[in-house]
């Protein structure tokens, strides 16, 4: 419904979202109304942030994520999950105060829970976060991805090895924020360990070439993480793939990183 057709005052809308007595259908309607009011409207976003709407929405997301994690399958919970995630994304889009409010409200635990049990909608949300305007959100998405990709079960299922995730991650290696680059390298280092079926996608979009470039970065943390990712990329790979990686790396670059002044870089280089 358009914002102009709204029949609820902001205070009443937030009260409905916060009340334990509000049923799922009513909360779903309130979330949709809130989403329609704040999309593209900076003034409305700031107003609802000041009124404390964000913690209420994160609470709904957390509850719906818990239901999903426990195996509960009902239409209301799934719809609440999608709509609350969409509202959170809207609050965080283009408004620094919104990003802060979302992070302060404790959005990480439910998001981690969701990403640990991914479906197409969750992967789309993660992909959107990886390409978000806010560097904080991009870095946070990488950190979430790094955390859940520690699971052998998630890796072997191939959840994070498709183009919708791989391409944004490779693009983040070019990010202007060093913090985002480091976070992306951390996620990639975990994912590429079991990258057998999609290594060609990673290579095609310039992943190896950019890892080699970052191994020469002026920032020692970036260098160490880039070499770590290269090391993991060669794990259990066939000889042809390894040969391609080392052709890109070159003997002179490898010699340089082995002699790096930082012990952490030397350690990863020697392991490589």
Given this model, what pLDDT does residue 7 score? 56
181 or 160, higher pLDDT: 181
**Mean pLDDT computed over every residue of the chain:** 81
Determine the Cα–Cα distance for residues 181 and 185; give it in Å rounded to an integer: 6
**Whether the predicted model's global pTM rises above the 0.75 cut:** no
- Do the domains spanning 1-117 and 158-272 agree at the CATH topology level? yes
CA distances from 261 to 228, 269, 272 (A): 16, 12, 17
The pLDDT confidence band at residue 5, using thresholds 50, 70 and 90, is very low
pLDDT band at 2 (very low <50, low <70, confident <90, very high): very low
pLDDT of 157 higher than 70: no
Rounded Cα gap, residues 56 and 249, in angstroms: 50
The distance of Cα 141 from the centroid of its chain, to the nearest Å, equals 2
CATH fold of 1-117? 1.25.10
3 pLDDT more than 50: no
Give the pLDDT of residue 191: 83
pLDDT of 13-55, one tens digit each?
A: 888 888 877 787 888 899 999 988 998 788 999 999 999 999 9
Hey, what are 30's tokens? 């309130």
Whether 145 shows a pLDDT value over 50: the answer reads yes
DSSP 192: G
Can you tell me the distance from the alpha carbon of 73 to that of 46, in angstroms, rounded to the nearest whole number? 34
Give me the helices (H) in 39-134, please: 42-50, 53-69, 75-92, 96-104, 108-115, 120-130
Fold of 158-272: 1.25.10
CB atoms within 10 A of CB 203: 18
The structural domains of the chain, with segments of one domain joined by +, span: 1-117, 158-272
H/E element holding 112? Answer: helix 108-115
Report d(CA 149, CA 142) in Å as an integer. Answer: 10
pLDDT for residue 222 = 94
């Amino acid at each position: 419904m358009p914002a102009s057709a709204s029949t609820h005052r902001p205070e009443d809308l937030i009260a409905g979202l916060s009340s334990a007595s509000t049923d799922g259908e009513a909360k779903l309607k309130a979330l949709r109304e809130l989403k329609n009011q704040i999309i593209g409207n900076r003034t409305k976003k700031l107003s609802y942030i000041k009124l404390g709407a964000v913690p209420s929405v994160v609470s709904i997301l957390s509850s719906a994520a818990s239901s999903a994690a426990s195996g509960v399958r009902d239409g209301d919970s799934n719809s609440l999950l999608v709509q609350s995630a969409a509202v959170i994304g809207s609050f965080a889009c283009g408004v620094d105060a919104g990003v802060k409010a979302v992070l302060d409200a404790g959005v990480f635990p439910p998001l981690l829970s969701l990403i640990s049990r991914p479906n197409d909608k969750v992967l789309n949300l993660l992909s959107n976060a990886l390409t978000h305007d806010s560097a904080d959100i991009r870095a946070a998405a990488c950190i979430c991805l790094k955390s859940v990709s520690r699971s052998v079960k998630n890796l072997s299922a191939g959840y994070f090895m498709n183009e919708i995730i791989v391409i944004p991650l490779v693009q983040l290696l070019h990010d202007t924020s060093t913090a985002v680059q480091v976070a992306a390298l951390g996620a990639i280092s975990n994912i590429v360990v079991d990258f057998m079926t999609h290594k060609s996608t990673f290579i095609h979009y310039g992943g190896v070439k950019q890892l080699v470039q970052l191994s020469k970065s002026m920032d020692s943390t970036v260098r160490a993480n880039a070499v770590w990712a290269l090391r993991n990329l060669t794990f259990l790979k066939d000889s042809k793939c390894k040969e391609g990686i080392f052709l890109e790396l070159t003997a002179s670059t490898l010699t340089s990183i082995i002699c790096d002044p930082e012990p952490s870089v030397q350690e990863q280089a020697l392991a490589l």
